[in-house]
Structure 1
Amino acid sequence: MHKRVLKVLEFDKVKEQLLQHVSSSLGRELAEKLEPSNDFDEVVKRQEETDEAAKILRIKANIPLGGIFDVRPHMKRAVIGGMLSAQELMQVASTVHASRQIKRFVEEFAEEDESIPHLLSQVDQIVVLAELEEAIKKAVDDNGEVLDSASDTLRHLRNQHRAKESRVRERLESMIRSSSAQKMLSDAIVTIRNDRFVIPVKQEYRAHYGGIIHDQSSSGQTLFIEPQAIVELNNELSSIRIKEQQEIERILIMLSAKTAEYSSEMEGIVKVLANIDFMFAKARYGRTIKGSKPIMNQEGRISLVKARHPFIPIDDVVANDITLGKDYTAIVITGPNTGGKTVTIKTVGLCTIMAQAGLQIPALDGSEMAVFGSVFADIGDEQSIEQSLSTFSSHMVNIVDILDSLSFDSLVLFDELGAGTDPQEGAALAIAILDEVNRRGARVIATTHYPELKAYGYNREEVVNASVEFDVETLSPTYRLLIGVPGRSNAFEISKRLGLDERVIDTARSFVGADTHQVENMIAALEESKREAERELDEAHELLRNAERMHKDLQQQMMQYYEKKDTLYEKATKEAQSIIEKAKRESETVIHDLRKMQQEKHAEIKEHELIDAQKRLTEAAPKELKTKHPSIKKKEKHVFHPGDEVKVLSFDQKGILVEKVGGDAWQVQMGILKMKVDEKDLEFIKTPKMPETKVIASVKGKDFHVSPELDLRGERYENALIRVEKYIDDALLAGYPHVSIIHGKGTGALRQGVQEYLRNHRFVKHIRFGNQAEGGSGVTIAELK
């Protein structure tokens, strides 16, 4: 990838933001070297690695990456026989410990979610060096100090050192506590100079203590003297200190040699830790920009869903859908300056480079990006004073280089193509350059303010026009990209809004050709049509989503109803069979007793009467339900009438005929559903009789059909409860499994009264509020027995 393109598209700023998320110098090194790749398999692998790290961050929030150091310089010195310091050995042990922690963390996560193959592959390369870690930690603490437990000799020497030091301090303390010391000492303290214990003596009393002068104060009035009485003790202390240092060096040399034995393993550990740190830095950066993993392809297709420029705050940026490479290979964005054209092409270019670098892109899930062999960009003011080149000349130098290097798998971004020269010639050059890029099969996005290029997209199948929307009312761009609609000049509208005289504007319009007027009017109509189409599409999508939710809810309720119905029917059949069997056994017992009585007492009981009684009892037993879907039998054709009870053969369900809806079709009420059913699919069951009771008389004639819902909105409380009482009776007669009672939300009094009545009704099994598709808390659903 060309360095100049990376600079123009500000990929260096992306890396600066990425560096804020590394956990160690190892990850920082990889982040600083990050470059986009043009190898498809490599890009896919990078994206999968970042996605695995993002998955762990979503579930676990973090990963233990603390305590990692770049120990490669330490290992090199150890291998050639150098002695590592205690601090360096501590860093080696800390890195080994961190690698062990990360390995365990990833493996435990994989047991719950196995979809992290790249991370598992990384940690499989980690060799657990528990022996080396234990050896170092036994000798060196977390602060890089050698412990007494490093060796018996060191422990003995340090015990000696502490005892000897205590004796020296005691001798000096006795000196400074004497009565004469008060006037001879500058301060009654024991201090250290040149690793030897001394006391601060006034200049005029130097001869009193004798010994060695090690230092003096800045004024010269105080001398730091090692009294003659403790010189020998200090000498012994220094001797012990030297031996202690020699023992420490021996221990460090031994540990350095042991560390050198694991140099190759440590090199592998450092490499793995660097990769893991880098993977999680990319995942954290993706979370910061609310990025997503793009779907990668090799066909030059770009499909960005709500893409944003990563450097513009999320609350301020306008997200756009941008597609390229499927129905068209070139986009020409026209329109006035400061409308967001440059931001749009920079967004596409930067998202492409980020995707090929293995970073998530600032767009929604489902976005698709291509792996391009090269990306070229001519963006910004390239005027060069040193080379005496004008803006146009400098742009042309870049364009010449691009045309010399591009191929079919390139992405080319032109900003203000052909600008900086005569408009007519510039537009002609822009068209020629675009034709050349298209001829070579590359993908191209170009911005321009030349009106001649508005017709360019209409004359070539592989090119589409686009523009950035401008709000004339507010005199500001909306930054929304409109693909398929060329930009139009708003000079007259803006001038009018700013107060320019109408006469002047009309004069200006007269200088513009009729063709231009027609084109501008056409563009305005296109913009309005597109906005209207987008609004209607959003409304259609919302209606479709609501319908799908309602359909899903109804299907689920119907399935639950039929399953429960079959279960209850089977249960009832088995219970009835059990009761009859019990009755048969009891009857046989009675008959046996009667026969016994007949034989013993010669009772007047006839045998055929006993047999008939037993036969009647046997025939009373219900037969088991053999199948839930009995075969369809042909019956004599029946003339159907509204109100007839029928079976819908294709559903094997009962229903009530509501009305004929043309030809041989009927509207059938099955539970809460109304369906249009052909007469051939109906089987007559019966015509309901008209009992003379008051309740049933209320549903005679055309009112026989009962609605599956009752609307009480606007009713007074007492009238509403009377209507509910009558409605439940009607619904029970109609055989409804459940009904909807609409009471609205309001103050809640009506809702409370209705639900209280339903809870106490002996034929109401269960009540609940409606779901979102049914009306929410403004509707109560009553399940009937």
Structure 2
Amino acid sequence: MDKETLNKLQFNDIQKEVQARAIGNYSKIRIGELLPQTSLATVKVWQQETQEARLILDSNQHVPFMGLSRIDALRSQVQKGLVLSPNDLIEYADFLRSSRMIDKFFEKNQYQTPLLYQYSKSLPSLLEIEEEVYQKIQHQKVSDAASRTLRKVRKQIRETEKELQDKLMKFLKHPSNKEMIQDGMIVQKDGHYTVPIKSSYKNKVAGNLIEQSNKGTTVFIEPAAVAKLNEQLIMLKAEEVAEEYQVLAELTGYLAEKESIIEFMVETITAFDVIFARAKYSREINGVTPKVNKSEVIQIKKGIHPFLPKGAVPLDFILGEEHRGLVITGANAGGKTVVLKTVGLLTLMTMFGLQIPVQKGTDIAVFDEVVVDIGDHQSMENALSTFSGHMTNIASILNKVKRHSLVLLDEIGSGTEPNEGASLAIAILETLYAKGALVVTTTHYGEIKRFAEEHEDFIPAAMEFDRETLTPKFILHLGESGDSQALWIAKKVNMASSLIKQAQEYMGNKDYQTKRKTFLKNEMEIKIDKKVRVSFGRGDRVLLTESQKKGLVYEDDGSDNVSVYIEEHLVEVPRQRIQLVMAAYELYPEDYDLENLFTDYQTRKMQRDLERGSKKAQKQLNKEMKQRDEERRAEEKN
């Protein structure tokens, strides 16, 4: 099956939904590798598997899947020659146990699930290994009963530890040691039993200094009286570890010896996990087991795309019995593409063994090939237009389709000149039909609609549209031709009635208005005549035509020159060399003080301070006046 088709129809998303409901990691991998089946017999078997699993789920029974989540990883460790830990061995034993329990489970449900019962009968039993693991691994560690040697060593460890603790307690309680002891307790450090001694007495206690506290106030000393016992204990524990390893290696070896049987067990139980993952997802979407056929007949009753929101309008669809081609027409956003995707995805889901969200009586054809041309095929890398991308895809489709193929084409022939696009689309439909494919396409082109109406083996269909709310109803009417509703929508959005009337006339004839009209230039584009004197207001933004600099009008007294403030200087510019860019009333708020445009911040601040009676401002003003008087007198002397 073509990967592009699976992506476009969102089948990959369906796979992910099913994967999420599987228990085992290996099961998830298998689901990702499986594809819709083209064999009618296989699809029937897969559908029966899912239906039987669904019966188990609906009766609130639980298949005893145990140890399945990591069985592939545990088997990999065994195959590499690694020794399993106690926890891993228990998980492995749980998996072996599940094989027996699944066999018994389906034996109990054999009349309800005859096919799954047949599968379960082939499950092997490794009861001896299972019991061996449970006997020798208890409470997440190797049990005392695992071997005589281990039982003996652990008994010696307990006795040695007791003797050590007794001697150390005597040391702690002895009156002569009381002053040296930091805490009256026995502490294990690096496998040694020690007592905490004040660091100032560390040289007065016979024994080995094992460790010192972070602050250096306490040292942990192994008294000489227990040194030999400690050494003996360390040796015993090493012997214990070695014996435990022997037990774990022995149990792991049992599993390695039965690898071929366990592999079959894993494959069978994984198959059950995959089946029940399909059933779990089917239950969540309220799926129904459809009829299946190889007669190229699709009859969907109240079908719903699984990714549409709740409340979506169900689809009734039929193709293949009386007609082999369907051309869907209707308004933009009317649901035409949704029909294509729903038909395609429900078909793929059926071929994947899933129940589908439809009503009973639905019949789905099993195809050898399902191909689509949906969406934008524009490619920046290959410099292909949308139309070129569609044509490239359709060319590939034409090369691969034959009988038992379902072809879904969205807006066939669009993206180019309408007459050529429609003609090419009809030729494509005829070619696909001649090859024996079932074809469903959407279009806006009237020529393609007429082709569907006139062709004996094609049928038109229209998507219902709510003219009042300008929304699609997603209802497909077979045998009807729809239109794009363009004029109706234009009217509803209050376009001029004269415009709509003109468009209606053009639909009947092509007498377009093609005469040239003369348009007056905008007033801003008319050059100022030398005889016309244009007045400017304070604050108007103007362009100095000679220097191409912009400035603000400071004063226009009606003379030949206008005072313009530009680059912080006032200049006199001939009126003919000034062009208005934007008037002050457009630039500034109604109550804006235009004087601010020509006064710097410090000056404006001084004025405000003087207005409110600031002594500091008045003092500064007097100082400036005095400075100007001194400068004037100095000039007069010179």
Task: Name the TM tier (shorter chain).
Answer: 0.7 to 0.9
SS in structure 1 at match of 2:469: coil
Residues 353/228 of structure 1: CA separation in 2 closer, same or farther (3 Å cut): same
**1:203 Cα deviation from its structure 2 partner:** 3.4
Residues 210/15 of structure 1: CA separation in 2 closer, same or farther (3 Å cut): farther
Q: Deviations over 1:201-228 (max 9, x none)?
A: 4433322334333333444444343333
Are 2:433 and 1:432 equivalent residues in the alignment?
no
Aligned length: 510
**1:385 Cα deviation from its structure 2 partner:** 0.7
**1:293 Cα deviation from its structure 2 partner:** 1.2
Match of 1:140 in 2: 137
Indicate conservation of the 8 Å contact 1:26/1:273, yes or no: no
Match of 1:371 in 2: 366
Which amino acid counterpart does residue 437 of structure 2 have in structure 1?
A: A
**1:23 Cα deviation from its structure 2 partner:** 2.0
Are 2:527 and 1:507 equivalent residues in the alignment?
no
Q: Deviations over 1:344-388 (max 9, x none)?
A: 111111111111111112212221111111111111111111111
Match of 1:339 in 2: 334
Q: Distance in 2 between matches of 1:195 and 1:359?
A: 59
Indicate conservation of the 8 Å contact 2:328/2:463, yes or no: yes
**1:26 Cα deviation from its structure 2 partner:** 3.5
Candidates 272, 276, 279, aligned match of 2:275: 279
Match of 1:713 in 2: none
Q: How does 1:312-461 map to 2 (within 5 A)?
A: 312-313=308-309, 315-461=310-456
Residues 221/406 of structure 1: CA separation in 2 closer, same or farther (3 Å cut): farther
Residues 481/161 of structure 1: CA separation in 2 closer, same or farther (3 Å cut): same
Are 2:156 and 1:160 equivalent residues in the alignment?
yes
Which amino acid counterpart does residue 230 of structure 1 have in structure 2?
A: V
Are 2:467 and 1:472 equivalent residues in the alignment?
yes
SS in structure 2 at match of 1:487: coil
Q: Distance in 1 between matches of 2:177 and 2:3?
A: 76
Which amino acid counterpart does residue 339 of structure 1 have in structure 2?
A: G
Q: Distance in 2 between matches of 1:182 and 1:410?
A: 94
Q: Distance in 1 between matches of 2:431 and 2:5?
A: 21
Q: Distance in 1 between matches of 2:223 and 2:316?
A: 87
SS in structure 1 at match of 2:372: strand
Q: Distance in 2 between matches of 1:325 and 1:496?
A: 39
Match of 2:86 in 1: 86
Q: Distance in 2 between matches of 1:177 and 1:469?
A: 96
Are 2:254 and 1:258 equivalent residues in the alignment?
yes
Are 2:96 and 1:96 equivalent residues in the alignment?
yes
Indicate conservation of the 8 Å contact 2:109/2:117, yes or no: no
Q: Distance in 2 between matches of 1:478 and 1:419?
A: 24
Q: Deviations over 1:712-751 (max 9, x none)?
A: xxxxxxxxxxxxxxxxxxxxxxxxxxxxxxxxxxxxxxxx
Q: How does 1:60-139 map to 2 (within 5 A)?
A: 60-71=60-71, 74=74, 83-110=83-110, 114-139=111-136
Indicate conservation of the 8 Å contact 2:67/2:92, yes or no: no
Q: Distance in 1 between matches of 2:312 and 2:224?
A: 81
Indicate conservation of the 8 Å contact 1:291/1:360, yes or no: yes
Residues 309/209 of structure 1: CA separation in 2 closer, same or farther (3 Å cut): farther
Residues 191/36 of structure 1: CA separation in 2 closer, same or farther (3 Å cut): farther
Indicate conservation of the 8 Å contact 1:467/1:482, yes or no: yes
Indicate conservation of the 8 Å contact 1:69/1:95, yes or no: no
Indicate conservation of the 8 Å contact 2:26/2:72, yes or no: no
Q: How does 1:42-57 map to 2 (within 5 A)?
A: 42-57=42-57
Residues 378/236 of structure 1: CA separation in 2 closer, same or farther (3 Å cut): same
Indicate conservation of the 8 Å contact 2:466/2:473, yes or no: yes
Match of 1:596 in 2: none
**1:80 Cα deviation from its structure 2 partner:** 8.1
**1:130 Cα deviation from its structure 2 partner:** 1.7
Residues 473/74 of structure 1: CA separation in 2 closer, same or farther (3 Å cut): closer
**1:104 Cα deviation from its structure 2 partner:** 0.6
Candidates 138, 163, 169, aligned match of 2:165: 169
Unpaired runs of 5+ in structure 2? Answer: 511-638
Q: Distance in 1 between matches of 2:445 and 2:343?
A: 22
Q: Distance in 2 between matches of 1:29 and 1:41?
A: 24
Match of 2:21 in 1: 21
Match of 1:243 in 2: 239
SS in structure 1 at match of 2:461: strand
Unpaired runs of 5+ in structure 1? Answer: 516-785
Match of 2:571 in 1: none
Residues 223/429 of structure 1: CA separation in 2 closer, same or farther (3 Å cut): farther
Indicate conservation of the 8 Å contact 1:375/1:412, yes or no: yes
Indicate conservation of the 8 Å contact 1:84/1:253, yes or no: yes
Residues 174/425 of structure 1: CA separation in 2 closer, same or farther (3 Å cut): farther
Residues 425/150 of structure 1: CA separation in 2 closer, same or farther (3 Å cut): same
Match of 1:773 in 2: none
**1:442 Cα deviation from its structure 2 partner:** 0.2
Residues 492/248 of structure 1: CA separation in 2 closer, same or farther (3 Å cut): same
**1:153 Cα deviation from its structure 2 partner:** 2.6
Indicate conservation of the 8 Å contact 2:444/2:484, yes or no: no
Residues 458/180 of structure 1: CA separation in 2 closer, same or farther (3 Å cut): farther
Q: Distance in 2 between matches of 1:417 and 1:61?
A: 50
Q: Distance in 2 between matches of 1:123 and 1:469?
A: 51
Q: Distance in 1 between matches of 2:168 and 2:333?
A: 82
Q: Distance in 2 between matches of 1:11 and 1:37?
A: 13
Which amino acid counterpart does residue 223 of structure 1 have in structure 2?
A: V
Q: Distance in 1 between matches of 2:381 and 2:214?
A: 61
Q: Distance in 2 between matches of 1:451 and 1:306?
A: 29
Q: Deviations over 1:527-546 (max 9, x none)?
A: xxxxxxxxxxxxxxxxxxxx
**1:37 Cα deviation from its structure 2 partner:** 1.6
Q: Distance in 2 between matches of 1:115 and 1:492?
A: 59
Q: Distance in 2 between matches of 1:173 and 1:381?
A: 84
Match of 2:593 in 1: none
Q: Distance in 1 between matches of 2:353 and 2:181?
A: 72
**1:276 Cα deviation from its structure 2 partner:** 0.7
Match of 2:189 in 1: 193
Indicate conservation of the 8 Å contact 1:454/1:465, yes or no: yes
**1:184 Cα deviation from its structure 2 partner:** 4.6
Q: Distance in 2 between matches of 1:216 and 1:387?
A: 72
Q: How does 1:710-721 map to 2 (within 5 A)?
A: none
Work out the percentage of aligned pairs sharing the same amino acid.
36
**1:445 Cα deviation from its structure 2 partner:** 1.0
Q: How does 1:566-715 map to 2 (within 5 A)?
A: none
**1:103 Cα deviation from its structure 2 partner:** 0.9
Indicate conservation of the 8 Å contact 1:308/1:363, yes or no: yes
Are 2:2 and 1:6 equivalent residues in the alignment?
no
SS in structure 1 at match of 2:142: coil
Larger RCO (CA within 8 A; separation ≥ 6) = 2
Q: Distance in 2 between matches of 1:451 and 1:210?
A: 107
**1:95 Cα deviation from its structure 2 partner:** 0.8
Are 2:294 and 1:298 equivalent residues in the alignment?
yes
Q: Deviations over 1:258-295 (max 9, x none)?
A: 33343322222111110111111110100001111121
Match of 1:680 in 2: none
Match of 1:523 in 2: none
**1:340 Cα deviation from its structure 2 partner:** 1.3
Residues 507/167 of structure 1: CA separation in 2 closer, same or farther (3 Å cut): same
Match of 1:213 in 2: 209
SS in structure 2 at match of 1:14: helix
Q: Deviations over 1:496-521 (max 9, x none)?
A: 22233333322322222189xxxxxx
Are 2:200 and 1:204 equivalent residues in the alignment?
yes
Residues 486/201 of structure 1: CA separation in 2 closer, same or farther (3 Å cut): farther
Which amino acid counterpart does residue 508 of structure 1 have in structure 2?
A: A
